[in-house]
Structure 1
Amino acid sequence: MMNKRLFSILAASTLLLFGLAACGSNDSGETTTTSAKKENKVIKVASHLPPMTDVVELAGDVLEKDGWQVELIQVSDNIQYNELVNHKEADASFAQHEPYMQMYNKEKHGNLTAVQKIYNAKVGYYSKQFKSIDELPEGAKIAIPNDLPNEGRALAILNEAGLIKLKDGVGFEGTVKDIEENPKQFELVPLDLLNLPEAYNEDDIAMTYNYPTYIAKVGLTPKDAILLEKTIDERFAISLVAREDNEASEAIQALKQAMTSETVKKFLEDNHSDTLVPAF
């Protein structure tokens, strides 16, 4: 009788342990699955400075209700956001216009693609010494960007204002080699975009080109510019950028929708109308 009872207890214990082990395995599986789902709902976005970083964070707030988590990766230069996306360390970036992205693709054999235009920045020229372009003296030094896409845009503004004359047909893609006429013999000084704000304070620089994001470092806005871009080329709109392999993914399409939401548009119009115009 004792042997039968002992056998029953051992059998019950074995079944109980097996059951607990099975439950534990099931719980672990569910936890792993849940964790994987959460990870799949994370969108990593590389960006640089406000208001670009602000837009990314606001898009994250919009997407939160749908279970998405937007992770902002803030970088300190104009190289890393493309490197991160191209090497799949980030899903997307929001820091540049399409011509700049195309330059990266060409130089680095990248597969980046512009997904959505978000806003057009009000770019132009600033001077600490002069209040009008008419005051610029002969031989004055003018600081311009040293990368080809932004150089072409900067020269197009000077051309439109009559300060120089570019070859017919170059449009926004001209270089200093395309200058046919330079009546006042201006000296064009190429600098990295991030160094242009410092050039504004240099005594020998009469005028410097810049974006609102960068010139804000020296306390200026487009209202302080002595020359602003008049003709807008939509290719230069600051855009959401992804890769060719993930452009159509659920995550990037959700991000695109959030960044073109009324919430983002209202934020841009209410808080940054002096520096940009929404492009959607």
Structure 2
Amino acid sequence: MQAVSAGEKLSVAATPVPAAEILEFMKPALAKEGVDLEVVVFTDYIQPNQQVAQKNIMMNCFQHKPHLDTFNKQTGAKLVPVGYVYVPPLGAYSHKVKTLSDLPEGASVAIPNDTTNSTRALLLLEKGGLIKLKDPTDITATVLDITENPKKLVFKELEAATLPRVVDDVDLAVINTNYALEAKLNPKKDALVLEDAGSLYANLCATDPAYQDSPLVAKLMKEWHSPATVQFIEEKYKGTIIPVGLQQGELIKK
């Protein structure tokens, strides 16, 4: 077996759960392929793209394409997807009510404050029958696009990473799966409404165009979709993280 120190270095930015956990699992297999994988963990959704755009880190695995598109548009970066990896379904959680219909009038609802995930949260709440949006296909919708809000819900837009900590303080919180898992929330059991496997928000790995054809990137993406890694995801996350094929992105061309 080739020693890890003899491999070519591949640095990957990731959020702690599940991306970093999956990447850590993949390290031994990649070492056999001559890849020295360095997983750089971030707890926010900004730095992983900034670091790759600045070429401090070679690639990242943590986001969906609408988020990547927004980053590129806002910063002038040109990061590109190199493959899709899983769907982490967004869910709405509460410690105060057991069903969405139990929410009282004027209930407080916390949602992520970043552009794409706030829209994603509103689409989920529309799916749950709580609100109606002007255009349910608009992936840039904001709270200003709510046309019907029969329960007069009061929205609080907060940084995504803080949402698990405010569940006790609001009536409902819409939380990304990686942060929900970190907080020991089980999306399949605890979410009052949850995205399904057909979500437009499959997560991907991305890199600078200079690296998109790198053999190191290709080896990582091949290993991510290997039977061993897929089995690890299915057994560890028990359906709360759904593996997808490399081309899942064909569903999210917007």
TM-score in same-fold range (> 0.5):
yes
**Higher RCO by CA contacts (8 Å cutoff, separation 6 or greater):** 2
State whether structure 2 residue 179 is matched by structure 1 residue 214. yes
8 Å Cα contact 2:17-2:179 kept in structure 1: no
Quote the Cα distance in structure 2 between the aligned partners of 1:180 and 1:72: 43
Other structure's SS at 2:55 match: coil
Q: Against the structure 1 CA distance between its residues 231 and 47, is the aligned structure 2 distance closer, same or farther, given a 3 Å change threshold?
A: closer
Identify which of 49, 52, 74 aligns with 1:82: 49
Matching residue of 2:123: 156
| TM-score computed with the length of structure 2 as normaliser | 0.89
Matching residue of 2:97: 130
Quote the Cα distance in structure 2 between the aligned partners of 1:145 and 1:81: 17
State whether structure 2 residue 198 is matched by structure 1 residue 232. yes
Matching residue of 1:142: 109
| Aligned residue identity for 1:250 | P
| Aligned residue identity for 2:105 | E
Matching residue of 2:32: 65
Quote the Cα distance in structure 1 between the aligned partners of 2:104 and 2:125: 15
| Aligned residue identity for 2:95 | K
8 Å Cα contact 2:89-2:197 kept in structure 1: no
1:53-110 per-residue CA deviation (whole Å, 9 max, x = no partner) reads 1221223222211211111112232222112111111111111111111121112211
Tell me how large the CA RMSD over aligned residues is: 1.8
Matching residue of 2:208: 243
Quote the Cα distance in structure 1 between the aligned partners of 2:35 and 2:197: 38
Quote the Cα distance in structure 2 between the aligned partners of 1:152 and 1:140: 19
Give how far 1:169 is off. 4.9
Q: Against the structure 1 CA distance between its residues 274 and 87, is the aligned structure 2 distance closer, same or farther, given a 3 Å change threshold?
A: same
Identify which of 190, 200, 204 aligns with 2:157: 190
| Aligned residue identity for 2:128 | A
Matching residue of 1:178: 145
Identity level (%): 31
Give how far 1:193 is off. 0.2
| Aligned residue identity for 1:136 | L
Number of aligned positions between the proteins: 240
8 Å Cα contact 1:155-1:172 kept in structure 2: no
Q: Greater CA radius of gyration, 1 or 2?
A: 1
| TM-score computed with the length of structure 1 as normaliser | 0.81
Give how far 1:172 is off. 3.6
Whichever structure has more helix as a proportion of its residues is: 1
Identify which of 64, 68, 87 aligns with 1:101: 68
Quote the Cα distance in structure 1 between the aligned partners of 2:62 and 2:97: 31
Other structure's SS at 1:198 match: helix
| Aligned residue identity for 1:262 | P
